[in-house]
Chains A and B, each alone.
Chain A
Amino acid sequence: EIQQYFLKEAAKYEKKVMVLDFVTPTPQGSSWGLGGTCVNVGCIPKKLMHQAALLGQALQDSRKFGWQFTEEVKHNWMTMTESVQNYIGSLNWGYRVALRDNKVTYENAYGEFVGPHTIKATNKKGIEKLYTAERFIIATGERPRYLGIPGDKEYCLSSDDLFSLPYCPGKTLVVGASYVALECAGFLAGLGLDVTVMVRSILLRGFDQDMANRIGEYMKEHGVNFIREFVPIKVEQVEEGTPGILKVTAKSTAGDQMIEGEYNTVLLAIGRDPCTRKIGLDKVGVNINEKTGKIPVNDEEQTNVSYIYAVGDILQDKLELTPVAIQAGRLLVRRLYAGATTKCDYVNVPTTVFTPLEYGACGYSEETAVEKFGEENIEVYHSHFWPLEWTVPSRDNNKCYAKIICNIQDNERVIGFHVLGPNAGEVTQGFAAAIKCGLTKEQLDNTVGIHPVCAEVCIQSHLKAHGILG
């Protein structure tokens, strides 16, 4: 997807542009069309399946609001997946058309450097072609990591497989504590499936840990099982089928205890690895971080080789988010071909985790704020809230939560925003814009709320300062 944006940009400046895109099928055989992770096996199908789960909850709520239906409503995985895949197909098609309309040459081929300014493209049939270019942009993204244990590639799925799975996954074990793991576990449970999440240590590493734990608690209270401090050491097939039955053996990280469990599906969500090891970077001298595979770039997305750039998930020390990649790619092309100087602003990039209780965040977590500024120099304002729409159906009245972190030494500048509740992404976006404008606590207090919505709680002056991390 990123390529679309900047390649369309480049073509706008009448540069001769080509894009190579190729999807190596997963161990299970899944593959997809043009558009990258976000469109095919990330943001888009994830949000649609999350929506399916939310609609299940809406069905429950609707009875209390007067809607009459007596039967227990069941979910059909195939109906949902077909609709989702059809929509994705339309996006793949849309990108093909857009590239063509912008006169960008597209090849469905695997690209790798073979020498300076030269790339070899191999298509599905194995036919090779060589291309030369003045400049190159690497945006190959990442793929899910496997555990490296017996049975992982043979029997386990990853997010690359889940969104096009042609059968209901059934009783599922999700291995991992990333947002991928929790978002998938969340919607699978919301669709009525028996879901267990196996976590090695903490949830959502890198995110505000108080918020992460609240997310976990909510999921637990709403039917997701958690196995904490265990890692799988082998996966065996008990029965073939769609789905079949798999036996998972796991070992405790805190001792010698071993456990076993049987599941229809095991979904691995333990991290993603950049696709940088097999594209000939060594042939042209592009440095990568040997341990992580990520590519270090300067603040203009340039690698150590002056004519080779990189954007997106493969970048070292940058956020793995679609809008960041798009922004970076667009601005890069403008700098290269339109004489612009604006660089991508990676500071205060907002994000949202689409777990059953959504979490929107922008800026510092409480821990990193304390670490950077010192506990005595930050003030935290917080509040629980009960969305009005949850009152009549008597849903949880103390789970939704908002937290604002301010830097006392800088005019009580808002340096962190966190909200846990419905439509967290919609709520957070505007706050991120305000933070970009240098929002202070005083300006927050002076802004009138919209009533009755969840977002207004974030600005209400009854937020109380509390003991930091207390």
Chain B
Amino acid sequence: ALGAEGAPRSGGGAAGWGLRSGAGAAPENEYDLLVIGGGSGGLACAKEAAQFGRKVAVMDYVEPSPQGTSWGLGGTCVNVGCIPKKLMHQAALLGSALKDAQHYGWNISQPVHHTWSVMAQGVQNYVKSLNWGHRVQLQEKKVKYFNIKGSFSDPHTVCGLTKAGKETVVTADNIVIATGGRPKYPMDVAGALEYGITSDDLFWLKESPGKTLVVGASYVSLECAGFLTGIGLDTTVMMRSVPLRGFDQQMASLVTEHMESYGTKFLKRCFPTKVEKLKSNRLQVTWKNADLDTEETDSFDTVMWAVGRAPDTKTLNLETVGVKTNSETGKIIVDASEATSVPHIYAVGDITEGRPELTPTAIAAGKLLAQRLFGQSSELMDYDNVPTTVFAPLEYGCVGLSEEAAVQRYGSDNIEVYHAFYKPLEFTVAERDATQCYMKMVCLREREQRILGLHFIGPNAGEVIQGFALGIKCGATYPQMMKTVGIHPTCAEEVTKLHITKRSGLDATVTGC
């Protein structure tokens, strides 16, 4: 655990572990636990703590986006992340399904048109039902909910103003910061703030964004550009350099290659310099093309920034209480037990340095933290081999090391990469192009051939990868994978049949049915 800062309160347990026996909140603190941030990590932690009969409070507040968008309880995932993203991705997939359906005998006249407002209403209504569901759950578990923007006044005191302007002060023995992040705006592009939107706004638009430019190479950028293309909108992605930095780059290329054949336009090695509003209300974007060393312009109805997310710590007053943050990223530094540099102050989720920015890790970390604080557990969160999926038009699921990371860590002579290009059965009758349907398994070459990483591009990638992630957690080896009989006919079975190595140079296309 990091060294303690400031005078520890009486009755506190050891910094970093927070094991306490019996007793409720110290007399001067109102709550056992205060969670700042009602998102995936925060709510999971709060609800788990409440199960132990503790007095828990949650503070959640959404600062409206520059465009004025706001939302209810539940955090990024529920409101402006995973949930609306996957639903709009589904809308796009259904567009492809409509085309496939004709090949399968359904008499539907093409082309079929998409109405944004119908989709948006369906998605937004569902999200609102989740906000409501979270409110009800907190109530049922007797967790006090404050819709206020809190900031620290001392290590056990957080205060803030309600929307109505009333000042509220909350004291707690333990405080968990789970305020997540918000989309970044580019600082060097004139007009970026006034005229551009981000993912915070996209999912709440009432009307179609129309011809859209998505700036960025993150999964947020590609996923959004992907579904916008899929519902029939003229969509362009502008990338300064490589797509999906940090992900396996061969897989990242396959993702963008597919998107190109799918209809998304790409402006590669370009970066915007200014955004201006035209009389027609359209936006004129000027950008530099680094390869050609030229300046180009085009007009769009919508410009969406997806250039990264910044931790939401500005208004917390962390300096006052001495919670240390990473000077480069601004994220809160935590140890293996989610403890910050201040005793009794913890952090989980996207706000924490060095952790995956994923809902399931935040939830798991939040739950385990509550169990350690109040449930006599000593179990730490295991951040190794966390699977994830990029919900691009052709989905990419992965767990473990990328090929580059494996090569870097072990040396290319010590790893074996098994790979295959395959064709989903459902693509055959639909006459769909399966060029980018591909999978690879990165293994150690030594006798046991432990699996270091698994990468899969294809339909339902998340469903495919989940079970294999379990296998990797069990230390799965290549021979064990080969002993597993496949389920036929599926895409996933091809994982158990991988046998062509990259090293052999042989054609990796799967033949047969």
Contact = CB atoms under 8 A, between A and B. Distances in A.
Contacts of B4: none
Contacts of B278: none
A51 B488 contact: no
Question: Which 9 pairs between the two chains have the least Cβ-Cβ distance?
Answer: A430-B467, A66-B119, A80-B105, A429-B492, A455-B466, A453-B462, A434-B470, A431-B467, A430-B468
A451 B363 CA distance: 11
A98 B118 contact: no
A133 B470 CA distance: 46
A51 B95 contact: no
B471 A66 contact: no
Given A345-B485, A448-B387, A426 B491 contact: yes
A412 to B, nearest CB: 13
A436 B484 contact: yes
A388 B86 contact: yes
A61 B477 CA distance: 40
A35 B512 CA distance: 10
B404 interface: no
Contacts of B473: 434, 443, 446-447
Interface in A45-74: 47-48, 51-52, 55-56, 58-59, 61-69, 71, 73-74
A456 interface: yes
B467 A58 contact: no
Contact of A449 (B87, B360, B468): B360
Contacts of B120: 66
Contact of A392 (B112, B126, B483, B492): B126
B115 A446 contact: no
Given A429-B493, A455-B463, A56 B488 contact: no
Of listed B106, B109, B483, residue having the most chain A CB within 10 A: B106
Contacts of B36: none
A198 to B, nearest CB: 26
A345 B483 CA distance: 7
Given A68-B114, A434-B467, A51 B382 contact: no
Of listed B86, B114, B474, B477, residue having the most chain A CB within 10 A: B474
Given A59-B98, A433-B495, A73 B429 contact: no
A409 interface: no
B290 interface: no
B483 A450 contact: no
Interface in A417-436: 423, 425-434, 436
Interface in B367-422: 367, 382, 385-389, 397
A434 B468 contact: yes
Contacts of A84: 429
| Chain A interface helix/strand/loop/mixed | helix
B470 A430 contact: yes
Contact of A77 (B86, B105, B361, B511): B105
Given A73-B108, A426-B490, A430-B470, 20 more contacts: A62-B94, A67-B94, A81-B105, A87-B428, A321-B485, A323-B493, A345-B483, A350-B485, A352-B487, A392-B90, A393-B122, A425-B489, A426-B464, A427-B467, A429-B486, A433-B484, A434-B473, A443-B474, A444-B470, A450-B462
A335 to B, nearest CB: 15
Nearest to A462: B367
25 contacts: A35-B513, A39-B513, A43-B489, A58-B94, A62-B97, A64-B122, A65-B94, A66-B116, A68-B113, A73-B108, A76-B106, A80-B105, A191-B105, A352-B487, A388-B83, A427-B463, A427-B467, A429-B484, A429-B487, A432-B467, A434-B470, A448-B387, A452-B86, A455-B467, A459-B466
Contacts of A453: 389, 460, 462-463, 466
Interface in B298-342: none
Contacts of A391: 87, 126
Interface of B: 77, 82-83, 86-87, 90-91, 94-95, 97-98, 100-101, 103-109, 112-120, 122-123, 126, 231, 358-361, 364, 367, 382, 385-389, 397, 425-426, 428-429, 460, 462-471, 473-477, 480-481, 483-493, 495-496, 511-513
A253 interface: no
Interface string A207-250: 00000000000000000000000000000000000000000000
Nearest to A361: B487
A108 interface: no
Nearest to A49: B104
A1 interface: yes
Interface string A3-19: 01100000000000000
Given A35-B513, A453-B389, A349 B485 contact: yes
B388 A450 contact: yes
Interface in A92-108: 94-95, 98
Contacts of B481: 433, 436
A91 interface: yes
B485 A324 contact: yes
A96 to B, nearest CB: 13
Given A35-B513, A426-B492, A430-B470, A452 B83 contact: yes
Contacts of B115: 66, 68
B338 to A, nearest CB: 15
Contact of A67 (B95, B109, B386, B476): B95
Nearest to A328: B485
Contact of A1 (B122, B490, B512): B512
A398 interface: no
Nearest to B494: A429
B101 A58 contact: yes
Contacts of B488: 38, 43, 321-323
Contact of A327 (B87, B460, B485): B485
A428 B104 contact: no
Contact of B107 (A1, A76, A83): A76
A458 interface: yes
Contact of A451 (B82, B97, B460): B82
B401 to A, nearest CB: 16
Contact of B105 (A75, A438, A451): A75
Contacts of B428: 48, 87
A438 B484 CA distance: 12
Nearest to A1: B513
A450 B123 CA distance: 20
A430 B456 CA distance: 12
Contacts of A322: 488
Contact of B480 (A191, A360, A436, A461): A436
Contacts of A5: 512
Nearest to B92: A65
Contacts of A431: 466-467, 470
A91 B511 CA distance: 10
A178 interface: no
Given A323-B485, A433-B476, A450-B387, A423 B463 contact: yes
Contacts of A87: 428-429
Contacts of B474: 434, 437-439, 443
Contacts of A351: 487
